[in-house]
Structure 1
């Protein structure tokens, strides 16, 4: 059985990920989830170095990078850049079609210089208690954020969504959830991290509305593994009127 690992380092808020090993059907999920976990920590950018210690069983396997790009485009909105350090990798990425979606470069230093430019975004972070009062605290934090960022039209939807996300985490994870509220050009994102890696419970007898209400209220929502072994459940609200 083949193996793959992802060596990571951080430079001024940018994660540099270097896959080592062979990418094939047996290692596809490991590489995908490893990069998603790095994105869940919300770095300024993720730069993936494809050097001589990385190989792909076929060009089709390189679609893993397009999958990661698609998963993180709505949340957390972290830029993904591939640095092809060999001519073979550069050619394979281009011929596979990955470069139509994912930014690709050949110079790591120049890529880092561009990636270290901080994006225009505002955010607040808060660790919540492991009790149902967590939802009340989260609602107040969201209310304050919407007031400071002049988003009166989003308050009601944001309060509804954060309540569902936090209550779900408290009821089903048994851990202290962490809330991240972030404003960027693409929308207002609400994300809750907990220690349970299992997918969130979308509906239960004790939770009549459930996360299906989050789906109807937001323009996008989903879940992804967190860097520390848990998960992050997130939702994005449009800044303009919903259609």
Structure 2
């Protein structure tokens, strides 16, 4: 089996990734999942350097970068940028949907400039594995929304955050991590826990006594989803429009 390693360096909040080895049928999934796992850490951007240490068996496999770009578009909303450092990588157009640069310096400069100069605010808190986590989550959301001048989002955002946190406490038996991100007009609420099993879907979960149900998350959000972390556990996320 062909080996492919993914080396990561963080530069001012940007995850710079250098795949080393051959991208083919046996390593496509490893590279895809490795990039998605890095995106789940919510860096400012993913910058992928393609140099002499990276080979592609056929140009079609370069579509892995387009796939990752599409998967992270809604959550965590991390831009994916390619740096093609060799003539061969520059000629390949299989990942045409992904922005390309010829130098790392140019890619890092682009990553520092959000589209239309949209605000990008982030906040994170680890909550206790008790039902007090829901109350603390509501306070944390309210304070962040008021600080970011989106107080009109507090009712919906606090409800979504409370439900996700209480789900993590009740069902995952975890001390959850609550992450908030305001990117432009979109507010993302993400909760990390230790249980890889996804939450019950709105189609099958009734409203529970003591909980509003994941169907309420669905009704208040533009979109929501669940990401199983390769290192264990999961992240349940929801995006609200501002």
2:164 counterpart SS class: helix
Match for residue 199 of structure 1?
198
Q: Distance in 1 between matches of 2:235 and 2:179?
A: 10
Contact 1:168 1:201 in 2 (8 A): no
Contact 1:125 1:180 in 2 (8 A): yes
Q: Distance in 1 between matches of 2:135 and 2:28?
A: 40
**Number of residue pairs the alignment of both structures matches:** 235
2:16 counterpart SS class: strand
Contact 1:45 1:79 in 2 (8 A): yes
1:48 counterpart SS class: strand
Pairing partner for 1:110 from 106, 110, 135 = 106
Question: 1 or 2 for the larger relative contact order (CA 8 Å, sep ≥6)?
Answer: 1
Over 3 Å counting, the alpha-carbon distance change for 1:107 and 1:225 in structure 2 is farther
Match for residue 120 of structure 1?
119
Q: Distance in 2 between matches of 1:50 and 1:90?
A: 9
TM-score when scaled to structure 2?
0.86
Q: Where in structure 1 are there 5+ consecutive unaligned residues?
A: none
TM-score when scaled to structure 1?
0.86
Over 3 Å counting, the alpha-carbon distance change for 1:3 and 1:225 in structure 2 is farther
Contact 1:172 1:201 in 2 (8 A): no
Please give the per-residue CA displacement for 1:115-136, whole angstroms capped at 9, x wherever unaligned: 2457732222111001122112
1:173 counterpart SS class: coil
Q: Where in structure 2 are there 5+ consecutive unaligned residues?
A: none
Match for residue 176 of structure 1?
175
Contact 1:48 1:82 in 2 (8 A): yes
Match for residue 48 of structure 1?
48
Match for residue 216 of structure 2?
213
Alignment of structure 1 residues 1-243 onto 2, 5 Å: 1-92=1-92, 94=93, 96=94, 98-99=95-96, 101-117=97-113, 120-202=119-201, 204=205, 207=208, 209-226=212-229, 229-239=232-242
